[in-house]
């Protein structure tokens, strides 16, 4: 979690966020939505170097789905298509009821990891994903019961405060995910990541997301600070200006940059050891 | 109980695009909508298109907020 760890060649965990819950094929014709499409992208990303796959579920027409049944279809297809990659389910869901937010945790088997949004964030002009402390706690309780490692989604400094206040409740190492972009995420600038990392307790592992055109620079900077990276079409649709990306291309680029910078890409086994995961 | 938006249609083609499965299309903006917005259009999860969508216009006239 430090520049010294970069110098020591600490392995980097690459997470691929394949689909998301906001945009769909209306924004990118090849964004994977069906279980089959997600599984194909998952297999390609595993081959390219991703050791964690962040999954969302959709309806047949691409619209959001939160039910255990839909997540089961996706996770079954991904497990079938991949060898050893870590599966992480999203528990995010603007406007979805608290009960629905728990459903992605209830597949059989349970995912090894799940996202945990640490506070409110705005969507569009009139929606807010509230993510109350009560909901965060109840999701974390169920994750503990099912031996699911939480990834704490830190959209801004307020969420960092919330995370640090309850850090003792999380098993070692706490895994924090920093989002940089627009709206209620953190302002996307390298100095803000440096500042964020300097204030972290030593036992924390951190991951970085940069939204849109900030994906490449912010994740690259994370490599230099001993952090991990998330890439994929959920966070960024373009490989470069005007050129739509694939999930596989974004993962391959992250792996290539990491290798060039002296950070070996973590295998799923190394990822499990680093983050204290229960196994697939 | 909110109602589905009167400006919502499900289309396989429109806005210069085509899809295998019909998707949510907004006749106010003339475009397919994002999956998250489609929950507003369909008044799911307690959402109400008349208050939660910035593009909504009353069916009897008015102007969309842009």
Q: How far is CA A46 from CA A80, A256, A266, in A?
A: 13, 14, 11
| C-alpha to C-alpha distance for A229 and A250, rounded to whole angstroms | 11
List pLDDT tens digits, range A58-110.
Answer: 999 999 999 999 999 999 999 999 999 999 999 999 999 999 999 999 999 99
pLDDT category, B60, cuts 50, 70, 90? confident
Q: How confident is the model at residue B64 (pLDDT cuts 50, 70, 90)?
A: very low
Residue of A23, A97, A125 lying closest to B35 (CB–CB): A23
In chain B, residues 14-33 whose CB comes closer than 8 Å to chain A: 17, 19, 21-24, 31-33
CA distances to A91, A116, A171, A248 from A168, rounded to whole Å, are 21, 16, 8, 36
Say yes or no to pLDDT of B44 above 90.
Answer: yes
Predicted pLDDT of residue B65: 46
Measure CB to CB from residue A95 to each of B22, B31, B46 and give the nearest one: B46
Q: What is the mean pLDDT of chain B?
A: 91
DSSP string of A49-106, one letter each residue: T-SEEEE-EE-TTS-EE--HHHHHHHHHHHHHH-SSPEEEE----TT--HHHHHGGGG
In angstroms, what CA-CA distances link B51 with A117, B25, B34, B47?
A: 25, 18, 18, 8
Note whether A108 and A275 are within 8 A (CB).
no
Helix (H) or strand (E) holding A240: strand A238-240
Is residue B7 less than 8 Å (CB to CB) from chain A? no
Tokens found for residue A158: 């307020």
HSE-up (13 A, CA, CB side) for residue A66:
20
**Strands A57-58 and A64-65, how do they pair?**
antiparallel
Per CB distance under 8 Å, which residues of A are interface residues toward B?
Answer: 21-27, 29, 58, 60-64, 94-97, 100, 123-127
Q: Can you give the pLDDT at residue B1?
A: 59
pLDDT tens, chain A, 280 aa long? 578 888 889 999 999 999 999 999 999 999 999 999 999 999 999 999 999 999 999 999 999 999 999 999 999 999 999 999 999 999 999 999 999 999 999 999 999 999 999 999 999 999 999 999 999 999 999 999 999 999 999 999 999 999 999 999 999 999 999 999 999 999 999 999 999 999 999 999 999 999 999 999 999 999 999 999 999 999 999 999 999 999 999 999 999 999 999 999 999 999 999 999 999 8
Whether residue B66 is predicted with pLDDT greater than 50 in this model: the reply is no
What is the sign of the dihedral through the CA atoms of A189, A195, A199 and A200?
positive
Determine the distance in angstroms separating the CA of A126 from the nearest CA of chain B, rounded to an integer. Answer: 5
Mutate which of A19, A20, A26 to disrupt the B interface (most B C-beta within 10 Å)? A26
């Amino acid at each position: 979690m430090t520049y010294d760890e970069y110098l020591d060649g600490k392995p980097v965990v690459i997470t691929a966020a394949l689909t998301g819950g906001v945009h769909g094929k209306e924004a990118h014709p090849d964004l994977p939505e069906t279980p089959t499409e997600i599984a194909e992208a998952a297999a390609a990303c595993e081959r390219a170097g991703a050791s964690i796959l962040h999954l969302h579920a959709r309806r047949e027409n691409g619209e959001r789905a939160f039910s255990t049944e839909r997540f089961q279809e996706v996770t079954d297809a991904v497990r079938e298509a991949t060898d050893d990659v870590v599966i992480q389910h999203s528990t995010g869901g603007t406007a979805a009821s608290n009960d629905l937010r728990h459903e992605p945790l209830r597949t059989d088997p349970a995912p090894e990891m799940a996202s945990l949004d640490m506070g409110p964030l705005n969507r569009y002009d009139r929606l807010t994903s509230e993510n109350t402390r009560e909901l965060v706690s109840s999701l974390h309780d169920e994750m503990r019961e099912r031996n699911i490692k939480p990834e704490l989604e830190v959209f801004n400094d307020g969420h960092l405060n919330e995370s640090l206040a309850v850090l003792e409740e999380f098993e070692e190492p706490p895994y924090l995910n920093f989002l940089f972009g627009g709206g209620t995420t953190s302002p996307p600038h390298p100095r803000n990541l440096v500042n964020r990392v300097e204030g972290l307790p030593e036992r924390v592992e951190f991951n970085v997301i940069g939204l849109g055109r900030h994906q490449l620079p912010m994740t690259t900077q994370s490599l230099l600070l001993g952090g991990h990276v998330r890439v994929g079409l959920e966070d960024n649709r373009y490989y470069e200006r005007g050129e739509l990306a694939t999930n596989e291309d974004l993962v391959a680029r992250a792996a290539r940059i990491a290798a060039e910078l002296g950070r070996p890409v973590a295998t799923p086994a190394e990822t499990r050891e680093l983050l204290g995961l229960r196994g697939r | 109980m909110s109602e589905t938006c009167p400006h919502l249609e499900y289309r396989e083609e429109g806005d210069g695009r085509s899809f295998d499965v019909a998707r949510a299309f907004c006749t106010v903006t003339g475009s397919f909508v994002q999956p998250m917005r489609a929950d507003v259009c369909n008044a799911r999860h307690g959402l109400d298109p008349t208050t939660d969508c910035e593009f909504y216009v009353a069916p009897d006239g008015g102007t969309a907020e842009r």
